[in-house]
């Protein structure tokens, strides 16, 4: 004979398993970024993670990086223009890529009222400066 307690415990267990299965499948994501890498030898290189925060309307001066840069938008919207690519706006969860030495002509908060933040992974030869101001 099945008691109410046994039935309740069984139902509770099934609900818990269903919730766990649902949570596992809802947290999976497909590919959000893929980019070919330039032909580089990474011997003697290191990776540095930098958080870049922009207040409303703030921007960085034009610059370049000696190595590979991969950026991920954490908050707000970032306007960026790298190399010969057109300027575009990246939103939370989107990424962009910079080849070694490419001019990063535009890097700014797209909003005049809200902050923006990105995480930049800079892969570069050890001992080299990570950012070089653009020559005017």
- Report d(CA 77, CA 117) in Å as an integer: 8
pTM of the model: 0.74
CB of 131 closer than 8 Å to CB of 65: yes
Q: Which pLDDT value is given to residue 10?
A: 45
Strand partners, 50: 120
CATH of domain 45-133: 2.60.120.10
pLDDT at 26: 55
Contact 52, 123 (CB under 8 A): no
Give residue 1's pLDDT.
41
By DSSP bridging, strand 104-109 and strand 77-82 are: antiparallel
The domain segmentation of the chain, as residue ranges, is: 1-30, 45-133
Q: What is the pLDDT of residues 12-42, one digit of tens each?
A: 444 444 455 445 555 667 888 888 888 888 8
């Amino acid at each position: 004979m099945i008691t109410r307690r046994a039935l309740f415990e069984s139902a509770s267990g099934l609900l818990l398993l269903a919730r766990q299965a649902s949570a596992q499948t809802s947290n999976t994501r497909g590919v959000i970024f893929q980019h070919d890498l330039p032909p580089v030898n990474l011997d003697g290189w290191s990776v540095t993670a930098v958080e870049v925060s922009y207040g409303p309307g703030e921007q960085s001066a034009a610059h370049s990086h000696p190595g590979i840069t991969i950026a991920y938008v954490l908050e707000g919207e970032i306007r960026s223009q790298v190399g010969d690519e057109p300027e575009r706006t990246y939103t939370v969860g989107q990424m962009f890529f910079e080849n070694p030495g490419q001019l990063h002509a535009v890097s700014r908060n797209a909003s005049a009222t809200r902050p923006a933040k990105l995480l930049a992974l800079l892969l570069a030869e050890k001992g080299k400066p990570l950012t070089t101001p653009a020559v005017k």
